[in-house]
Amino acid sequence: MSATASVKKAVRRWEPITPLLARASSIACHVPIHTVITISMLALFSYVHVLSDFQTARGSRALGLSGLREKQFVVSEQTQWRWSEVNVNESLENAKSYTVVTLDFPIEAVESPPQVQVPAYLHAIPLKSLKKDSLVYAVPRTSLGLFMNSISELPVKGADETDAPIASIIGGKREKWVATFGDEGKAKLTTQPLGFLEEKIQDLISVLQDAEPFDIAIMVVGYLAMHGTFINLLFSMRRLGSKFWLAFATLLSSTFAFFLAICVTKSLGVPIDVILLSEGLPFLVIVIGFEKPIMLTRHVLSSSVESRRKDGGNKSDSINSVVLNSVREKGLDIVKLYALEIFVLVLGAFSGVQGLRQFCFLAAWILFFDFILLFSFYTAILTFKLEINRIKRHVTIRKALEEDGVSHKAAESYAQSSEWPKPSLDVYGKDGSGSTTMFGNRVIGIRSFKVGMVGTFFAMNVLYIASLWFREAADSISLFKSMELRSAGPDPRTLNTSEISTILAQVLALGKEATSVTILRPLGFVLEARPIAYPSAAAGSFGSLFADSKDSFFGIQGGYASKHRPFSGILRSLQDPLLSRFLVAALVISVGLNGVLFNVARWSANSDHSSSRSTVVVDEKPVKVCTCGGHIVDGDGESVNKPDESATPRSLIECEGLLIEKKSNELTDAELMQLCEKGKLLPRDLERKLGDTTRAVKIRRQILSLDRSVGEKAATLENSKLPYLHYDYDRVLGACCENVIGYLPLPVGIAGPLVIDGEKFFIPMATTEGVLVASTSRGCKAINMGGGATTVLVDDGMTRGPCVSFPTLKQAGAAKVWLDSDDGQKTMKAAFDSTSRFARLKSIKTALAGTTLYIRFKCTTGDAMGMNMISKGVENALSVMANDCGFDDMSIVSVSGNYCTDKKPAAINWIEGRGKSVVAGATIPGDVIKSVLKCSVEDLVELNIKKNYIGSAMAGSIGGFNAHAANIVTALFLATGQDPAQNVESSNCITQMEKTSDGALQITVTMPSIEVGTLGGGTILDPQGAMLQLLGVRGTSPDGPGQNARKLARIIASAVLAGELSLCSALAAGHLVKSHMQHNRSQPVTRTTTPAPIQNNNPAALLREQQIAQLKMTTGR
């Protein structure tokens, strides 16, 4: 118990961190654009800082010990006080160690001699130089690093530091002697990328030649493992749904952390050994890895999918809330991992191991900034990812609906309603003006932020151009003054015995004791125009902490870039070839992207403008719903501002003028009816002309009520109980129905729940047949008690079967042979697939009847049922076949030649399948059959044989070897917006029942042609979409194209299984008639009174007739 209590107490100590993380991440999530740009700019400044620093160090790039050691000598009592050459790095115990450093200056040093001031605490001893323009020092080995650091830059003798302010105004530069590496008498400084790359390759070769083979093998393995970590990151993100960009963003975030860490480390005065960094960084990447961003990404993406699945259409979590919930869930675990890793690195930074201290110090800062950027920069990137996913899904749904024949307006309306997250309620202001929404919230400050960024860059460039007037003329030619050096100092590779003895004798004169001397290659110096460096206060305690490392990078401590003016350093670094090319590429991409976005915005604005011209301003009023009987409560149900019906009627000419001027909404109902009667306005165009679908439906009902061409049959239509108010006819127009006069409320019942493949579902059924839902529920209960239903998807492919004819039988046979060949299949598939982003041809089956060839195309259509997109593909494929494949004499008889076969009973659908081919089955114990279904297993098996097998065969049925599969299929089709006519082939089903060895009932239904979709058709209507949402299959599936439609087919097959089981049980027990009489005939049967002839006594209708008569008199009729 004590251990458990201590664990809980430790967890509670970490709990306050989670709100802090959520608060910090919320800023990044609400303003992701600002966050990404701001952090990118900080990282860019850090890169400039590091770049300037290492450009400064390039002049002294060879000051590392590994590249300077050449010859080593020892003298002691064992050598009889004679100098003896030994291998480099060998040393005597208890012996003094000196390093002979030669400073080699060119002839110009006579005119501008260097001013060498070596600190006394370094104990550097000047030796007699062999040449007048060289200086020689014997430096104790323990002080070598600081000595090399102190001579990396030497001022020119006589230069006055007090003139720095004036110099900073006039270009900000002063000449200094800068150490470089004398290689055969030449010192080269280059700012060209190829030259710099060549130098680095030479350095790498030199290091590899001096390294041990085992060390080289370890480094090769380390770098291979590091790149393996990168590849693993890429594949991990691919498995999460991002092909490239999330992996790239993760690497970019870590790179930013690396630059920021180097900037801070050098600002604190800690030297950075590039060689040590290159050796240790791969192992840091391998050990740390990228598990933390992968963990956060996995939770964010999975949470977004779950949030969309659980959204019932009434409310939706925003993108920000999903990301922040993931931070709250996983943030604490990630913080613990970072804390542990940083703690270990801090211990290494305070260890006594030289080299390890600097690397651990830098690595700790890298992890610290990686932690900061993970919950700021990377969370903003995740917000972008979810927003891009939302946009992609919106476009995918709209494109799929348009390819399936739905109008652009209806497709866009459905796509907007299916968006996740849905726009906030405050998207539109009180004045009706809309504001742009991104990331589930209103966009705030984007425009001002962009203007500020552009203004800042513009000001920087103006200042940069203005500063050109104050620059020295020499700066426009070159930043550096390259000089040719001559090798004047002693080179250990060319010294003879007497010259070496002269140097060693001076060292021995310092004291007769055991001594080790290393003679380095000479250091060359060049005269450069360097920016003035100001003292840095940062090189304090941290610099002294790590300054004693003899293996450190002997550059400029404290960071040279931090000592001069940062603004000028940024502008100068923009001259870097790599950075300038990157900026140019970014500029080109930005210009192209803005051009594309401008065209898209212009197209969207034109579309919105054209639709708004015909749209009347809507007054928001309480929505009224219809009662159980389908009757609409009248009142202020209309959503439009009606014109004043009591105004003086306009003449026909005036009405026509308003119609031409696209001001039809100003006309009264009577005037619109008159225009329709005169043939000036077609009733089918009312929605398009008025811009108000509800009013168009109302006027159409009035027109039909006054139409006496069918007698008095339609007289009551206007005020009938067929509702028409409070319905979204925008979804219907151009998608579902024409000449709309209202909608029919249909009762919807719920059966179940039913366990299907381990998942529970409620089954929505729209029907007017009593007992059907109750019977299906009873079957669901029995199946659940047996462990649930199991389904298998056998095939998936919608078909279209055109017929084509040829002049001769020989040509028709040649076409059939070609279509059946691999070449023909590939050609037709390429032509078919080019017409759609979603439809993909699977196979082609042909049949020849005389000179007529029937071609059955079978293809997948994603989550749409897809008949229209298939027809487009078939037309294009046949066109390619006729024009490009040598069948010029082929004539297309019909795109649909009944070889599909659609909406008709046909054996080919039963044999070959059409749509989704599903088999569903379940095993129900015998005791469940008796207790729930009130019959025995034997009775069910016998009834199934006699009824579904023999009875259907006697009737000559095709695919009808079942009890009532069409009942369940039709009810589900009506509830979920499927095509009811396709119930003909979708109800193809054979029900099988067998008794198992343990006395249980094994029942299966095989349905080879279930034709369903979750996108397009009636599924775009909100009520039907709500039922699809109830099943969790609305719209497109995040698990892949077509998964929702396949899942719906499995649900339908399982529901049919339940219905078959219940009905057969009722028949076996003799309860069918009894149950129907109990549920459907509970009241005594009475003769329905025959209605009397209809008389129009409606005052409103009479008033309208009087108005029309008055109009006729006015126009002279």
Is 456 a member of any domain? Answer: no
Average pLDDT, the chain: 75
The H or E element containing residue 528 is strand 523-531
Domain span at residue 958? 748-796+914-1080
Q: What is the pLDDT of residue 945?
A: 94
Confidence category of residue 18, pLDDT binned at 50, 70, 90: confident
Residue, of 606 and 272, whose pLDDT is higher: 272
pLDDT digits (tens, 9 = 90+) for 1001-1036: 999 999 999 999 998 888 888 899 999 999 999 888
Confidence category of residue 508, pLDDT binned at 50, 70, 90: low
Confidence category of residue 186, pLDDT binned at 50, 70, 90: very low
Q: Domain end: 344, 375, 392, which one?
A: 392
Q: Which CATH number covers residue 969?
A: 3.90.770.10
In this prediction, residues 555-559 reach a mean pLDDT of 36
Is 495 a member of any domain? Answer: yes
Please indicate, yes or no, whether residues 867 and 984 belong to a single structural domain of this protein.
no
Q: What are the catalytic residues?
A: 769, 903, 979, 1076
Count H helices and E strands in the chain, helices first.
39, 22
SS3 552: coil
Please indicate, yes or no, whether residues 184 and 253 belong to a single structural domain of this protein.
no
* pLDDT for residue 582 is more than 80: no
Q: What is the pLDDT of residue 613?
A: 42
Q: Which CATH number covers residue 341?
A: 1.20.1640.10
Is 990 a member of any domain? Answer: yes
Q: What is the pLDDT of residue 532?
A: 54
Confidence category of residue 575, pLDDT binned at 50, 70, 90: low
Please indicate, yes or no, whether residues 38 and 67 belong to a single structural domain of this protein.
no
- Give me the percent of the chain exceeding a pLDDT of 90: 24
In 193-244, alpha helices (H): 193-210, 213-240
Confidence category of residue 114, pLDDT binned at 50, 70, 90: confident
Q: What is the pLDDT of residue 1106?
A: 59
Is 96 a member of any domain? Answer: yes
Please indicate, yes or no, whether residues 274 and 126 belong to a single structural domain of this protein.
no
Confidence category of residue 648, pLDDT binned at 50, 70, 90: confident
pLDDT digits (tens, 9 = 90+) for 1069-1102: 876 556 555 555 545 444 444 444 444 455 555 5
Q: What is the pLDDT of residue 642?
A: 62
Please indicate, yes or no, whether residues 231 and 341 belong to a single structural domain of this protein.
yes
Residue, of 963 and 531, whose pLDDT is higher: 963
Q: Are 701 and 717 in contact (CB under 8 A)?
A: yes
Which residue has 């849905």 as its token pair? 422
Lowest mean pLDDT among 38-47, 83-92, 247-256: 83-92
Is 651 a member of any domain? Answer: no
Is 1062 a member of any domain? Answer: yes
Question: What is the domain count for the chain?
Answer: 4
Please indicate, yes or no, whether residues 971 and 1034 belong to a single structural domain of this protein.
yes
Please indicate, yes or no, whether residues 235 and 368 belong to a single structural domain of this protein.
yes
Q: What is the pLDDT of residue 946?
A: 94
pLDDT digits (tens, 9 = 90+) for 252-283: 888 888 888 888 888 787 777 677 777 788 88
Is 197 a member of any domain? Answer: no
Please indicate, yes or no, whether residues 940 and 853 belong to a single structural domain of this protein.
no
Q: What is the pLDDT of residue 533?
A: 47
How far apart, in Å, are the Cα atoms of 633 and each of 294, 400, 404, 521, 744? 55, 37, 36, 101, 15
Q: What is the pLDDT of residue 894?
A: 92
Q: Domain end: 392, 425, 440, which one?
A: 392
In this prediction, residues 969-986 reach a mean pLDDT of 94
Q: Domain end: 866, 894, 922, which one?
A: 894
Q: Which of 79-83, 777-781, 833-837 has the highest mean pLDDT?
A: 777-781
Please indicate, yes or no, whether residues 370 and 329 belong to a single structural domain of this protein.
yes
| Buried residues in 112-149 as b, exposed as e (16+ CB within 10 A) | bebebebeeebebbebebeeebbbbbbbebebbbbbbb
Beta bridge partners of 300: none
Q: Where are the beta strands (DSSP E) in 862-972?
A: 891-894, 915-924, 960-961
Q: Which CATH number covers residue 848?
A: 3.30.70.420
Residue, of 118 and 781, whose pLDDT is higher: 781
Contacts of 617 (CB under 8 A, 6+ apart): 432, 641
Q: What is the pLDDT of residue 228?
A: 87
Please indicate, yes or no, whether residues 880 and 863 belong to a single structural domain of this protein.
yes
For 326, what's the count of Cα atoms within 13 Å in the CB-facing half-sphere? 30
Is 767 a member of any domain? Answer: yes
Please indicate, yes or no, whether residues 776 and 810 belong to a single structural domain of this protein.
no
Q: What is the pLDDT of residue 633?
A: 40
Please indicate, yes or no, whether residues 135 and 234 belong to a single structural domain of this protein.
no
